[in-house]
A and B are shown apart, each in its own frame.
Chain A
Amino acid sequence: MNRTFILTLLIFLLIFAGLVTIQPPIIALSFPLIFYLLAGIWQAPDRLDLRVERISSAERVLTGNEVTITLKVSNQGKALEEVLLEDQIPDGLVVSDGSKRHLITLSNGETTTWNYTLRGRRGYYGLKKVRATASETLGLVKVGQDLQTDGQLFFLPPVLRLRRVAIQPRRTRIFSGTIPARQGGSGVEFFDVRDYQKGDSPRWINWRATARHPQNVYSNEFEQERSADVGLILDGRRRTNDFNNRSIFEHCVLATAALADAFLNAGNRVGLLFYGRQIIWTMPGYGKLQSERILHDLSRLEPGDSQNFNELYIPRHLFPSRSQLVLISPLLDEDYDVLAALRLRGYPLLVVSPDPVSFEAGGLPKIKTYLLAMRIASLQRAALLRRLRGTGTRVVDWDTSQPFEKTAKRELERRSVSPRGDLR
């Protein structure tokens, strides 16, 4: 209850009782309360004139790391007897050391500086406000103001280093890279045998073929290695990612960050399409800058409800047909048709699917009914993955209780042996 209201009520009550009983001492009892109110008015803070400056030790940090925030507040106005300064930090950030608020006295021209340490979940956080609430020492009059500051924090997803992700798209770019281009030329892997040409190194001569045909000399031809277009598609639909209070989405983000890093390190052109509440598109690009862009975008993504997976749109001018697509999704049964259609359009498809069945089972008690339900769901998922593999899609089934590096090493480092041809 408001303290001013309590005091007023009591004052009126005492005056009324004093009048009714004709007892001046009862009226006199209200004097301390009236003096108290008057003192509140006398020392009430006027308009606040505070300046705030925020300094962050970093704007972009990997999840798990800490950021030190330094706040400097100076009073340009009248002296404030009691002022509570509280930094407004968004949900998802936790103060790990120090305090985000301070209760102090600020004289005219005085400056106070304090710092505290933040830790947070993956995400983008705007640090825009410091709330100042000033009052006189009795706490009757409180004047509040939001002090605007410039500040933002990106907690980026951790990036796992994958040694190699073997892909073999039908179309490659003209720049050299690590992906076999199905064209003869300079390279490492044997590709074909052709007639010896002037300038060929004697080391390339295929002596066995030459011995069989004494009238000709043959040279080995090697497979060219080039870079490719890789489109990462991250499934952010709530219904595929969220299970009660748990979300597998963080695992999807982790896998996406690791794959993006691996593809970019191999010299490929990589773009990211996020499909969740809305479609977010990171334009394809090369190198470290693109890696930063993708991590930046990944840090902001949250699962959301979308209309329909069938509305998945792939900008074909950016990813020509037969360029490599990588879908990171826990998958639903109805996704099969869309993925099969992508294969029909000529896209080589790699699906990295964190297993939602084992993930959800991890949070459930081990009772018979749940175990049976889990078994049925596992069989359904196994059937879906088998059908997908039947379309020539390379599927990586990731049990999230295992580290992604381990699964990636086993499933992605080897070159695919799936059918090379199109479904057509």
Chain B
Amino acid sequence: MTRFLRFACTILSIGLIAAGYFLNNRERVAVGIIVFGILWIIGPIRWWKWIQPVSLFTIFIVAAVGLIMNIPLGFILPGALFGFLAWDLAEFAGRLQLAAPDDDTSRLERTHLRRMAMLMLASGGMCALALVIQIKFSFEWIVLLMFLTVWGIGQIVNWLLKKSN
């Protein structure tokens, strides 16, 4: 189940972003994205461990560049979300390999997929909301909010790393 979903998400992510670029008359970039997508699919089969983080970065950078080039959000946002999902599922599949043959992995899979579905819905909805509702702030407020955001994320990460240790 996880393996199938991972491949499906990879293909959907690459397909959506490449389609966005293609429809925006950026055929060469679209071809490049498809070539990269093939590498991304081959990677787990060839046990390339580096391919997952590299793919996540690439897909988000390509998505960000696409937004700057005014590629429709309808291609970019789902493409990035599917890419993120593919990255997560690849890591999850790696953890499932540690299970014994008689372990009930379906229970773990169900929990994980349910959590990811909720996360994707919430974050997708939040993205859409953020793009629809636009509030004007003065430059000082923007700087202050950005500092708070960076500080907040820093705190989250710090907590996560401490907890893991």
Name A's B-contacting residues (CB within 8 A): 1-6, 8, 10-15, 17-19, 21, 23-29, 31-41, 43-44, 81-82, 84, 98-99, 101-105, 114, 137-143
Residues on B with C-beta less than 8 A from A25 are 67, 73, 76-77, 127, 131
Inter-subunit contact A6/B157 (CB<8 Å) = no
Chain B min CB distance to A148 (Å): 21
Cα distance A98–B32 in the bound complex, in angstroms: 46
Partner of A4, one of B68, B111, B161: B161
Complex: how many Å from CA A71 to CA B126? 46
**B130 and A31 within 8 A (CB):** yes
CB distance from B43 to the nearest CB of A (A): 15
Show 18 A/B contacts (Cβ-Cβ < 8 Å), sorted by A. A2-B161, A4-B157, A8-B157, A10-B60, A14-B60, A14-B64, A15-B149, A18-B64, A19-B142, A21-B68, A23-B64, A26-B64, A29-B80, A35-B123, A101-B98, A102-B99, A103-B100, A142-B164
B92 A139 Cβ-Cβ under 8 A = yes
Cβ contact within 8 Å between A137 and B112: yes
- Flag if B98 contacts A6 (CB, 8 Å): no
CA of A25 to CA of B129 in the docked complex: distance in angstroms?
11
Is A31 in contact with B126, judged by CB distance below 8 angstroms? yes
- Return B141 CB to nearest CB of chain A, in Å: 13
Chain B residue numbers with a CB within 8 Å of A14 are: 60, 64
Q: Using a CB–CB distance below 8 Å, which chain B residues touch chain A?
A: 53, 56-57, 60-61, 63-64, 67-68, 73, 76-77, 80-81, 84, 88, 91-92, 95-96, 98-105, 107-108, 111-112, 115-116, 119-120, 122-124, 126-127, 130-131, 134, 142, 146, 149-150, 153-154, 156-157, 159-161, 163-164
**Which residues of chain B are within 8 angstroms of A26 by Cβ–Cβ distance?**
64, 67-68
The answer to whether A29 touches B115 (Cβ under 8 A) is no
Chain A residues with CB under 8 Å of B80's CB are 29, 32
Residue pair A137, B108 in contact (C-beta under 8 Å): yes
Residue of B nearest to A44 (CB): B163
Whether the Cβ atoms of B67 and A38 lie closer than 8 Å is: no
| Closest B residue, CB atoms, query A81 | B111
Chain A residue contacts of B98, Cβ below 8 A = 84, 101, 103
The answer to whether A140 touches B111, judged by C-beta atoms less than 8 angstroms apart, is no
The complex places the Cα of A5 from the Cα of B88 at a distance, in Å, of 14
In the bound assembly, the distance between CA atoms of A15 and B143 in angstroms comes to 12
Q: Whole-angstrom distance between the alpha carbons of A140 and B68 in the complex?
A: 31
A35 touches B100 (CB 8 A): no
In the bound complex, residues from chain A placing their C-beta under 8 Å from that of B150 are 12, 15
**In the complex the two chains form, is B60's CB within 8 Å of A29's CB?**
yes
* Given A26-B64, A32-B81, 14 further pairs, Cβ under 8 A: A8-B154, A10-B56, A25-B76, A26-B67, A29-B64, A29-B77, A29-B80, A33-B84, A35-B122, A39-B119, A41-B160, A103-B98, A141-B160, A143-B163
A350 to B108, CA, bound (A): 65
A103 adjacent to B95 (CB under 8 Å): yes
Q: Are A11 and B153 in contact (CB under 8 A)?
A: yes
With A23-B68, A99-B100, A102-B103 known as contacts, the answer to whether A32 contacts B120 (CB < 8 A) is yes
Min C-beta distance of B29 to chain A, whole Å: 17
- With A102-B103, A137-B112 already in contact, the answer to whether A8 and B163 are too (CB < 8 A) is no
What's the nearest-Cβ distance from chain B to residue A89, in Å? Answer: 14
> Which of B77, B91, B112 is A3 in contact with, Cβ under 8 Å?
B91
Q: Specify the chain B residue showing the minimal Cβ separation from A144.
A: B164
A29→B123 CA distance, assembly (Å): 9
B119/A102 in contact, CB under 8 A = no
A12 touches B64 (CB 8 A): no
In contact, B101 and A32 (Cβ under 8 angstroms): no
- Contact call A29/B101, Cβ cutoff below 8 A: no
* CB-CB under 8 A for A98 and B107, given A14-B60, A38-B156, A41-B160: no
A103 to B108, CA, bound (A): 9
A4 touches B115 (CB 8 A): no
Inter-chain contact A141/B164, CB cutoff 8 Å: yes
| Nearest-Cβ distance from residue B53 to partner chain A, whole angstroms | 5
A37 and B123 contact, CB distance less than 8 A = no
> B104 — which chain A residues lie within 8 A by C-beta?
104
Verify B131–A37 contact, CB threshold 8 A: no
Please indicate the chain A residues that have their CB under 8 angstroms from the CB of B153 in the complex.
Answer: 8, 11-12, 34, 37
Contact among A8, A31, A139, A141 with B95 in the assembled complex (CB-CB below 8 Å)? A139
- State in angstroms the CA–CA spacing of A137 and B98 once bound together: 14
Closest to B105 in A: A103
Given contacts A8-B157, A98-B100, A102-B103, contact A141 B163 (CB under 8 A): yes
Q: Which B residues are in CB contact (< 8 Å) with A15?
A: 146, 149-150
Complex Cα distance, B83 from A29, in Å, reads: 12
Smallest CB-CB A-B distances: 3 pairs: A99-B100, A32-B123, A103-B99
What residues of B have a CB within 8 angstroms of the CB of A44 in the complex? 160, 163
Asked if B146 and A10 make an inter-chain contact with CB atoms under 8 angstroms apart, the answer reads no
- Contact, CB under 8 Å: A103 / B119: no
Query: Out of B76, B127, B142, B156, which one reaches A31, CB within 8 Å?
Result: B127
Q: Which residues of A contact B96 (CB under 8 A)?
A: 103
Nearest chain B CB to A10 CB, angstrom units: 6
Who on chain B is nearest to A18 by CB?
A: B64
CB neighbours (8 Å) of B105 from chain A are 103
Chain B residues, Cβ within 8 Å of A37: 153, 156-157, 160
